[in-house]
Structure 1
Amino acid sequence: MSSGRAAKELGRGERVIPGVWRLRLPLPWPGVPHGNAWAVAAGDGVVLFDTGMHQPGSLAHLERALDMVHLRLELVRSVVLTHAHVDHCGQTTPIVLRSGAEVWCHPNHDHLTKWLANPDGYWERRVEIALQSGVPEADVRAASEIVRREDIGIAGGLQVDHDLVDGVQIATDLGVFTAIETPGHAPSHVCLFNAERRMLISGDHLLGRVSLFFDFGYTPDPIGEFLASLDRIEDLDARLCLSGHGRTFTDVEGHIRANRELVADRLRLTEEALAGPEPRTPAEIAPHVFGMPLTADNGSWLLAEIQCFLRHLEVTGQIVRTDETPDRFRLT
């Protein structure tokens, strides 16, 4: 979610290799100062992988980044979205209006479009999850009033022309990028792989800095899906990764291993927090797992993640949910 603060950075563009440009776009989130869109040469224009987040002045940041590498919005022929989070798809509509580009996205994007169709219902669902997690109601209501006033980060909704599912091929001057469904971080998440160059556009599935986030409440087991998606990407043997945040990197295998280790560590800490005789709520477990208290700034992120860890342990039979309200869990 937006912090409400103006972005301090400017949009910047740089060439990665001939025909591939990184467009670094500001974000207003503490600890996540920017995200990447990637322009890849394609005929008389470019394919744009992801778009950045819509905020006041954000399109000018994108245009500035494009200008630095001698490109223009009007050269965008296709917009290909790695997933339907606002920092990756928020500027899709303004770009389409300027360029006439067609849009590709995985069809399982209800986690965004249902929110856009019914924002009040979305926020009430978030409030319900927080209350069921054991957060005091006064704290939940106060935090909810703050976040409801913030920019949603997307302009004009999300209109998709083509489904981006397993095997779909996106043609570029560097060869074909093939879609590989990688749910976990988001139900709609897709990576794109250029086998000829062993180049992976990873969205938020793999990042330069190992960091986890999962949408909760849309699929049965986001953690299990994420781990299975890591297996799929490992089998590709990619050597260059263009990620959704941070710089390019080549140690793809090392990043996959580090993500698995972080997931395993947090699952271990979750079980450790349940080692006592009394069942505990997600709000009680989270500070032990993340090493920090829940606050209005981090609460929605950390609760979503801890709920996903609990769901995975529940699905795999390591813990059970009691019949109490709010939700409480104990080891089996």
Structure 2
Amino acid sequence: MAAHPKLGTGWVGARARVALSWASVSATPRKPNLSRGEKVIPGLWRLKLPLPWPLVPHGNAFAVADGDGLLLIDTGIHSEESMDNLEDALNQCGLSVDMVHRIVCTHAHADHAGQAMSIKDRTGAEILINPALEHMRGYVSDPDGTLDYRLSRALLCGVPPEAVERQRETRRGMNSGFDRVLEPDRDLVEGMTIPSDLGDLNVIETPGHAPSHVVLHQPEGRLLFSGDHILGRVSLYYDVGYTPDPAGEFLASLDKVASLGARLCLSGHGKPVNAIPELAAANKAAVEGRLRAIRSSLATEPLSAWEITSLLYEGMPEEPRIGWFLPETLAYLTHLAILGEVVRDGGEPVERWAVAPAASQATAAA
């Protein structure tokens, strides 16, 4: 296999696998997205809820027996059909939305917390979520303003103006996936315990994917409600611009979770899996691989974040490259800058990144 002109032979295979994965996902005909409820263990039910996104066709909520009612972990997105979808999934388990008296959201993304307020309106349930909610409040209260900010950042990263305008036309006026700004009744923070019939669920803060992210650990049953921190496959995404080092925070969170001794991963997408330490290790390996690829891409010349993203994810369609993979690249560049390995030139209208002088000298000396 010929070496990539900037990334070498080691990245070509990984990049090719990413491209093949995209093609298989986007080209495979999909069954209609239907809600489904199923028992996992006594007192715990998985609720598979439809999502409007081709690459992420469903998300999970979990119903947990809690005295004479239910604890609902995550809620699904808000849409015209979303409450009916949730009710249908619960009915398949012999349950009802009206039984929900407590809602715990693993993080403030729409597919996990979008209809929390609507459920509260219906049942009076209290809502618990981590208080680091800036990334949600701005987007929900002013989605077009948030879009303008993100697209101006994309221009600074080197995305061509015509591509930015295509994104603006496509995304302007889109529904946020929340019925309104989420206002919790209690803050969900490290060290709290949430009672349930499964036993106490310990709250562990795991920022990275989102500043508000937490997981819930039930130690006796070795259960982990992992939200989007760990899925049954490696899938990396970061909210960028709200915390100093999202990628570094994610790596530290993986170490916390891997040390818990939990086995059954009840994640925000996909089926439950018994492989938490292995999945944490796979996520760390994926991040390290992307960091190595970025170091290699900058070895010969300064590049914009968009140029690096296009090298790493060659063949990806424009929309996910801008919306998903560019923020991921920015998270890794920020992490490498904190480590002292790269610097940005602060240029306008496009800023570029380069190997830091000290790092370059150390490499030459080695």
The two structures have a TM-score, normalised by structure 2, of: 0.87
Tell me the amino acid that sits aligned with residue 251 of structure 2.
L
Residue 310 in 1 paired to residue 306 in 2? Answer: no
Which of 147, 151, 154 is the equivalent residue of 1:130? 154
Q: 1:233 aligns with which of 254, 257, 270?
A: 257
Aligned to 2:137: 113
* Aligned-partner residue type, residue 73 of structure 2: F
Alignment of 1:91-102 (within 5 A): 91-102=115-126
Change (3 A) 1:207 1:253: same
Shift of 1:80: 0.1
Letter in 1 for 2:249: E
Matches within 5 A, 1:197-216: 197-216=221-240
| Residue equivalent to 1:175 | 199
For residues 234-265 of structure 1, give each alpha carbon's deviation from its aligned partner in whole angstroms, at most 9, with x where no partner exists.
11010111000001011111100100000001
Task: Give percent identity, aligned residues only.
Answer: 47
1-structure distance, mates of 2:31, 2:339: 42
From 248, 254, 257, the equivalent of 1:224 is: 248
Cα distance in structure 2, aligned partners of 1:218 and 1:75: 35
Q: Does the alignment pair 1:259 with 2:274?
A: no
Q: Report the secondary structure of 2:140's partner residue.
A: helix
2:344 equivalent to 1:321 = yes
The Cα offsets for residues 113-140 of structure 1, whole Å up to 9 and x where unpaired, read as: 1222232321121111101100112211
Distance 1:56 1:139 in 2: 31
Q: Structure 1: how far apart are the matches of 2:163 and 2:307? A: 14
CA distance in 2, matches of 1:265, 1:217: 23
Which piece of structure 1 moves more, 321-330 or 213-222?
321-330
Q: CA deviation at 1:293?
A: 4.2
Structure 1 SS opposite 2:241: coil
Deviation at 1:149, TM superposition (A): 3.0
1:53 matches 2:77: yes
SS at match of 2:50: strand
The 1:210–1:103 alpha-carbon spacing in structure 2 relative to 1, beyond 3 Å, is: same
- Return the match for 2:101 from 77, 84, 98: 77
Q: CA RMSD in A?
A: 1.4
Alpha-carbon displacement from aligned partner over 1:214-252 (angstroms, at most 9, x marks no partner): 000000100000000011111101011100000101111
Q: Distance in 1 between matches of 2:129 and 2:240?
A: 20
The verdict on how the C-alpha distance between 1:107 and 1:153 changes in structure 2, with shifts beyond 3 A counting, is: same
Residue equivalent to 1:290: 313
Q: What is the aligned partner in structure 1 of residue 27 from structure 2?
A: none
Bigger drift between 142-151 and 239-248 goes to 142-151
Can you list the C-alpha shifts for 1:67-101, whole angstroms capped at 9, x where unaligned?
Answer: 00000001001000000000000111111111110
Contact 1:294 1:302 in 2 (8 A): no
AA in 2 matched with 1:40: V
Letter of the 1:131 counterpart: L
2:347 partner letter: E
SS of residue in 2 equivalent to 1:141: helix
Q: Give 2:173's match in structure 1, choosing from 146, 149, 164.
A: 149
Question: Partner of 2:56 in structure 1?
Answer: 32
Aligned residues: 326
Larger Rg: 2
Q: In structure 2, do the counterparts of structure 1 residues 10 and 294 end up closer, same or farther at CA, with 3 Å as the change threshold?
A: closer
Contact 1:106 1:188 in 2 (8 A): yes
Aligned 8 A contact 1:39 1:48 in 2: yes
- Indicate conservation of the 8 Å contact 2:136/2:181, yes or no: no
Distance 1:85-1:217 versus aligned 2 partners, 3 A rule: same
Tell me if the contact between 1:25 and 1:36 (Cα under 8 Å) persists in the aligned partners: yes
CA distance in 1, matches of 2:36, 2:92: 7
Write the letter of the residue equivalent to 1:135: V
- Distance in 2, matches of 1:22 and 1:41, equals 12
Q: 1:296 Cα deviation (Å)?
A: 2.6
Deviations 1:127-167 (A, max 9, x none): 11101100112211221121123221111321200000001
Counterpart amino acid of 2:132?
A: N
CA distance in 2, matches of 1:11, 1:157: 25
Q: Are 1:159 and 2:183 matched, yes or no?
A: yes
CA–CA distance in 2 between the matches of 1:86 and 1:146? 19
Secondary structure at 2:195 match in 1: strand
* Counterpart code for 1:304: P
**Residues of 1 paired with 2:227 and 2:344: CA distance?**
33
Structure 2: give runs of 5+ residues left out of the alignment. Answer: 1-29, 357-366
Q: 1:18 aligns with which of 42, 58, 76?
A: 42
